[in-house]
Chain A
Amino acid sequence: MQDTFEMREIYCQSLIEAAKTNKNIVVVEADLMNCIKTGPFKKEFPDRFFNVGIAEANMVGISAGLATCGKIPFCSSFGTFATRRCFDQVFISVAYSKQNVKIVGTDPGICAEINGGTHMPLEDMGIMRGIPQMLCVEPTDSVMLKALMPQIIDYKGATYIRLQRKKAETVYSEGEKFDLFKAKKIASGKDATIIASGIMVSKAVEAREELKNQGYDVGILNVFTWKPIDEQAIIECANESGAIVVAENHNVHNGLYSAVSEVIVANKPVPMESVAVMDEFGEVGKMPYLSKKFHLTKEDIVEKTLKAIKRK
């Protein structure tokens, strides 16, 4: 079922709500205000909104400078341009300088749809995860985003937020609580655990149902914060189920599968399988086509889970 709210609505509303009492919150855009829809923030706080035009490096540098003066800048672009386009500025001016800048990359992976391969960030989390001490988070739906925004604002440090702009598939009900640094267990299972993030969480829920019908007891862990990763929760899943499938809307390299593997290899080696984009570039298309093309469907999760169970 689709969410009632678009993720970007919740993002902007959360910023406005917080900015009413926190005068340090500022928004810096690079000509995508009308895509992420931060216009209402600009209307409410015109002195704390800047649009630098199509210049992501400058956007990030200005945000770093604002942060040195105690501001909490939120700057955004499509995930491709918020990360790889201005990687060195994020690395040096923000992260290495230890500045409290929040970078929002929208339209993760195949969500870029008909903007196509040039706009399809399948590597963004991998890029940001490689920067020391960068917090990397991918909120699942509007309920989670609403709960996490105040925590993200309170967190002091460089942060990358991988954000769907439009309506996500609903996973959580209003009132659900989240800790930015703790993975969220959706179900326990003794045969395998699906570790998922972003658009893959709702597909994992569907895959679990199908596997249940086939007689398997499969758990789900939503690892929405990729870094710092909740090692304890992952190790518990490995102990409990003895097999792990990682499902992500990202390239298989440097993404969630890599991050989870780092934990598993060092702590509790168990069979692992990956549902991810297998080292390919994106292309134009709608979600159903792209999901099939890149093997990111519920069926792919089911198939990989059965494979992992067989390897136990």
Chain B
Amino acid sequence: MTGSTVIEKTHCYHCGDECLTIDYNYDDKHFCCHGCKSVYQILSANKLCSYYNFNQHPGSTRKTEEKRFDYLNEPAIINDLIDYTDDKITIVTFYIPYIHCSSCLWLLEQLNKINPAIHNCRVDFLKKQLNVRFDHHQINLQQLVMLLYDIGYEPLISLQDVIKKQNSTVKDNLIQKLAVAGFCFGNVMLLSFPEYFGLSAFEQTFRNFFGWLNILFSLPVVFYSGSGYFTSAYHNLRNKVLNIDFPLALGIAVLFLRSVTEILTHTGAGFADTLCGLVFFLLVGKFVQKKTYHHISFERDYRSFFPVAVHVIENEQEKPIPLANLHINHRIIIRNNEIIPADSMLLKGEALIDFSFVTGEAMPVNKTLGEIIYAGGRQTGGAIEMEVRKPVSQSYLTQLWNNEAFSNKNTPRTQTFNEKISKYFTIVLLTIAFSALIFWIPTDLRRAINAFTAVLIIACPCALALSTPFTMSAALSIFDKNLFYLKNTAVVEQMAGINTIIFDKTGTITNGDHNHIKLEAVLTELQKQLIYSVCANSMHPLSRLICQYIGNMDKLVVNEFQEVVGKGMVATIGLDKIRIGSAKFIFNREDASSNKSTVHLMMNEQYLGYFSFEHHYRDGLDKISDLATNYGLYLLSGDNDHEQYDLVRFFKSPQKMRFNQTPQDKLNFVGELQKEGSKVMMMGDGLNDSGALKQSDLGIAVTDNLNNFSPGSDAILDGKSFIKLPDFLKFSKDTVRVIHLSFLVSLTYNLIGLSFAVTGKLSPLTAAILMPLSTVTIISFTTVAVHLAAKKRKLL
């Protein structure tokens, strides 16, 4: 052991990772890798070191491989990416997932100090976007992206551009409508007060003046702010659907017409303030309902997972082409960590493909020359050459998107409570209104019309229309606090109606990061230290796990080190020769026991034993099995069935677990359950689950990192909150109960109002008090009730 030196443990100045070598020191600061050091060098050369003052270790680790951005010179690709260009400047918006702290913001807005050709940078922190305006004569798009990459902020450039989509979403001017309604509501209230307090005979001229002003203010409220309700009611009537917009539109129209007639004929004060208040509150409800998560995209498919361009060999030369131009028989080069975009045949190189994302298999697979490799696999190791056999859209994985589950995008799933109830509500409302009309016609025509309109006014389901948005948005923000992000408010009700839950295995109930390690060997402290020192040099996930397992050792200086990617490594420390790797690498034979991954240890030609790795299930999986009393539980896995015996304790019976499932199998299985009348909730994490997620009544994507890819779904659950899933389900049921209760409350108000209305003697003052009062009651009731329910489920 003489000659071995002990290195003190330090943390990288840039990213905060533990430094495993002393090779990367600069300015008396320690760095974990060359990447981190070069970022620091760039920043210090440009006097931007304040970056490190705002936050400790703000950088991201730069241990990743070199990236190639030469595809950004293709005009076709550039045109797709930029927002605007003229002969002087270009404006482009990047999505940069790493933006996370004030240092990021500061540095990214100082880019012009590094390169003066960049005129202006603006960060949108919540959307994680960077808007850059630059002179394209002095710096081109590729150089700009390289610069961002060099300082550790690599933009995420994908085919399905997140930014473009967000910016192109139709703006419905809701805020403007709300502003107009609020403005008119305030003014009309003020002008109506004199009427309520009583005007003396002397002031009669004012009454006309106020009346006219009220009509004037009602016009924009009805025809601008409230226009959405009329169009919606009209469309729904044409489709023979009675939704809540119909009684609302009817209420608004009746309120307006009656107010105008009363004021013009000097028969009353009209209901202008009720009208403006109604529209204003309704729009507030709409506004509350519209919660968006800018940093999360729920609509991702394979296009956001695949690269923008591929490198093709043409006439002995390597050239990037956009994915759309990739054809059969193209020869492509796939480098380490790149994704294979189309089904292709392996021509050259050693392929070790990680299919975890596509099929759910946990370990990378070796492929031999001439074999067809399916699209979606990720190459680990050296570069490989392949020949494309099928176009991108026809590949094994992408074919899934041709399934009908993806074509009909807006399939009505389960009807919400509001939709169900509003049909009956409208019918009852119209019946009462017409009964009042017919009842009074023989005695007093005038009173009959008054009663008819009053019923329509007072029973206008304002409180009903508000109860759902306010309950749901309160529920949504509680889910949000628990790292569970729902696409929209309707998802809460979907979740309450679920009776079957399907889980994917890899990545969903297993946690990819924390495999369970067992050491099947007796090692001395020295041997442990030697193994630690060797493994610390490797980036292979299993090596990292071994380092974690042995933990906090002092690292010895390795004299010789050689790694065969994906197989093992040979190293010499002092006088000890150490070999660590797979059974094939150590004994040159296949491992017989395939039910777990093993790493064997050999020291000075003496076999020491092995590490075995088993999947670690997410915390709270045992809680999930308690759900079996209320829900049907199923497991669908693309992996083989070696974990069946481990999992049977969670899923009770082997019939409920299906292994070796293709993405299409998963989709079909969900469809079968739905045919039997089940309401299916699917939980998955990868592209292979996307079909099932889409087909299911409620698709939840489970992810450990929100910035990573997650397939299109209705909700995204952070892996940390997996344990709370049973509480989430119970809470969603509570929320629906709150909606039911608030419906009863709003009905009570309606009944009180109706008792005035049917007599035909509804005073504007009663309406003006009743309407806001019911609204305020509903808003406070729903908010308080939802929070109490959340407290009960310990979600707050």
A associates with B? no
Binding site for A on B (CB under 8 A): none
Chain A residues in the interface with B (C-beta under 8 A): none
